[in-house]
Chains A and B, each alone.
Chain A
Amino acid sequence: MIRIKNLNINLKEFNLFDINLDIGTNEFFVLMGPTGAGKTVLLEAMAGLIPTKSGSIHIGEKNVTGLAPEKRGVSIVYQDYSLFPHLTARENMRYGLHFHRIDKDRSDETFDRLVENLNLSYILNRFPLNLSGGELQRVAMARALMVDPEILLLDEPLSALDPGFREEIRAGLKKLHRDSNVTFLMVTHDFAEALSLSDRAAIMNNGKIIQTGTMEGIFKRPDSTFVADFVGMKNLFAAQFRETKAFTGNLEIELSVKPVNGKGYIAIRPEDIVLSREELTSSMRNSFAGNITEISDHGLYYEAGIMVENITFKSLVTKGALLDLRLAEGTRIFVSFKATAIHTF
């Protein structure tokens, strides 16, 4: 369990402001945010590798705020894996054992288990220079877990790997977490990765935590324009609310519930916006006519921009739909979305 209270960090290049975070035992927690948000700084602060200005960090029941990194029971795996280049994979893995009083039988057992689970037996005698990205990553994970840490900090562990490879490693990571009683805290800026691995997350920006909650909650109910934008809610409009209606530009949009405040924002995920040649009347409570202003190719899908009055909606369409609907720039089309797909804040 990690409990961070009112943590402030004041470094030359990075600052953290009033960080509060609670992470449960054996949780898989994700820290997200753009580059330079302070995610790595927060990880290093938990590991005791950088000085804090004020606030406290508890691990379990123990206050570790001023404690040396070697006394915290927090292992860290960096993005570049940082294996010791002058030691073999085996020596890297067993490095931490020099400093821990772990019973030899038990450490051997842990070693064998990790070697088997992470499929490392064939590379044990190699130096890091002769290992691939995936192998480096697995050795780094094993090295971190060899010392029985309470907490494992992962700094974008998958970002340096080939995309085709990531899926497999991600599954391995999930299994590793399930099989241990270690608390995992991972930094990533890949949303899909976060969704598939963790239950809860925090979003950081400019040295602050902006939102904390379940993955589902953050994904569907962002509470700021930054988070909405970050999680890919591309349709984000300032709006006035009256009863269960939202007014933005000249559009009147039906909501499913009455918002708490009189004005704010409405956000709709681009995949929740349906395009059609005819106006849809059935379950779609909102349907507007507009013109396609742009279509961009994103590989597996296309993103269409549709101008309705003065507002541009973004919608994701598959290649099939693009051909079926004969979509092109300038096509007149209807955009429709359910009242329940609209998030207000």
Chain B
Amino acid sequence: MTKKEPFFWITVSCGIVIMAFILLPLIEMMTAPSFAMLKETIKDKDVVRSIWLSIYTAGLAALISFVFGTPLAYVLARSDFRGKKLIESIIDLPIVIPHPVVGIAILSVAGKNHWLGELFNQVGIRIMGSVTGIVVVLTFVGMPFYINAVKGGFESISPRLEKVSRSLGASMFSTFFRITFPLAWRSMLVGIVMCSARAISEFGAVVIVAYHPMIAPVMIYERFEAFGLKYSQPVAVWLVFICLTLFLILRILTLHDRGKTA
């Protein structure tokens, strides 16, 4: 066996440090609450309600991203036009803006002194302190992750496949649904997972727009503030556990794949 160079040992030790840095706090938190405590927590109607709210608002955000983001991702992947870089930077903005600022920005158009807020008010849509508001915030922060993942997926599909399909008689619509969509499906799913994972973890923006109804991260914060670490841990464990299970199921469902996809 050849002797390993010092460089190799540096890479290994840095890797170990990072693994420990990520896993140690998580494992500690996950194992802290007793079974009895976990059992009691999940019987708490407020906890169940807030976790469920977190999951379905994040899911809705992913669904909205899917419907509106897919065509945009396609255009960005397939065509080259002036201002494309600008549009891509705008899409990335929600990632870099501090979370409370996102909440404040959304409230400033949804408030009564803005014409859009006034319009919403008249048709009966309330942003402040409502599920609608939560979904708006989560979509705002999650959408970039969906678009970027799906754009990458579209880019990896050769445009020639679409060209061949057109020349064989398929319209652009048929081509999209028979060729592009089945091949990009996996990246869309990755995008949905990324988007909803990001949405579920949002706290700073939601807390400004809607403290109530309470999503799970807000509830964890509230229990921490009011009762301390011990009482916020079980909720956190349940949230992480349920989310991981959901993503795992999604992953298993998509493992079965025909032929070769990019």
Q: Which residues of A contact B (CB under 8 A)?
A: 12, 44, 47-49, 68-70, 72, 74-76, 78, 80, 82, 84-88, 95-96, 98-100, 127-129, 143-144, 147
Known contacts being A80-B160, A82-B160, is A70 close to B260, with CB within 8 Å? no
B45 interfacial by beta-carbon distance below 8 Å: no
Asked if A70 and B160 make an inter-chain contact with CB atoms under 8 angstroms apart, the answer reads no
Known: A86-B259, A88-B259, A127-B260. A69 touches B166 (CB 8 A): yes
In contact, B259 and A129 (Cβ under 8 angstroms):
yes
Cα A70 to Cα B168 in complex, Å, equals 6
> Which of B68-76, B169-177, B200-208, B235-243 interfaces with chain A?
B169-177
B28 at the interface (CB under 8 A from A): no
Which chain A residues lie closer than 8 Å to B168 at the CB level?
A: 70, 75, 95-96, 99, 143-144, 147
B32 → A minimal CB distance (Å): 46
The answer for the CA separation of A299 and B185 in the assembled complex, in Å, is 49
Bound Cα distance A144, B183 (Å): 21
Q: Which 9 A-B pairs have the closest CB atoms?
A: A99-B169, A127-B259, A96-B168, A129-B260, A69-B166, A82-B160, A85-B260, A76-B167, A70-B169
CA of A84 to CA of B170, assembled, Å: 14
- Docked-complex contact B167 and A75, CB < 8 angstroms: yes
Rounded to whole angstroms, the CA-CA distance of A49 and B166 in the bound complex is 8
B111 to chain A, nearest CB (A): 45
Residues of the B chain whose Cβ atoms lie less than 8 Å from the Cβ of A44 = 163
* Residue on A nearest B160 in the bound complex, by CB: A82
Which chain B residues have a beta carbon within 8 Å of chain A's beta carbons?
A: 80, 158, 160-161, 163-171, 174, 178-179, 182-183, 258-262
A86 touching B261 by the CB < 8 A rule?
Answer: yes
Q: Which residues of B contact A49 (CB under 8 A)?
A: 163, 166-167
Q: How far is the CB of A283 from chain B (nearest CB, A)?
A: 54
Minimum CB–CB distance from B206 to chain A (whole Å) comes to 39
Chain A residue at minimal CB-CB distance from B170: A99
Contacts A/B (CB < 8 Å), 13 sampled: A12-B80, A49-B163, A49-B166, A69-B166, A70-B171, A72-B167, A75-B167, A76-B167, A86-B182, A98-B174, A99-B169, A129-B259, A143-B168
Query: Which of B163, B182, B258 has the most CB atoms of chain A within a 10 A radius of its CB?
Result: B163
**A99 to B, closest residue via Cβ:** B169
Chain A residues, Cβ within 8 Å of B161: 82, 84-85
Q: Give chain B nearest CB distance to A66 CB in angstroms.
A: 15
Closest chain B CB from A324 CB (angstroms):
51
Contact B165 A95 (CB under 8 A): yes
Contacts of A95 in B (CB 8 A): 165, 168, 170, 178
B160 interface neighbour in A72, A78, A96, A100, Cβ under 8 Å = A78
Closest-by-CB residue of A relative to B161 is: A82
Q: Using Cβ atoms and an 8 Å threshold, which residues of chain A touch B80? A: 12
| Distance of A61 Cα from B211 Cα, bound (Å) | 70
A85–B166 CB distance below 8 A: no
New A-B contacts (19) at CB < 8 Å, excluding given A68-B166, A70-B171, A86-B183:
A12-B80, A48-B166, A49-B167, A68-B171, A72-B167, A75-B167, A76-B163, A82-B164, A84-B164, A84-B179, A85-B261, A86-B260, A95-B168, A98-B178, A99-B170, A99-B171, A128-B260, A143-B168, A144-B167
Pair A47/B163 contact, Cβ less than 8 Å = yes
B170 touches A76 (CB 8 A): no
Complex CA gap A127/B183 in Å reads: 14
- Separation of A88 and B260 alpha carbons in the complex (Å): 10
**Interchain CA distance A100-B165 in the complex, whole Å:** 12
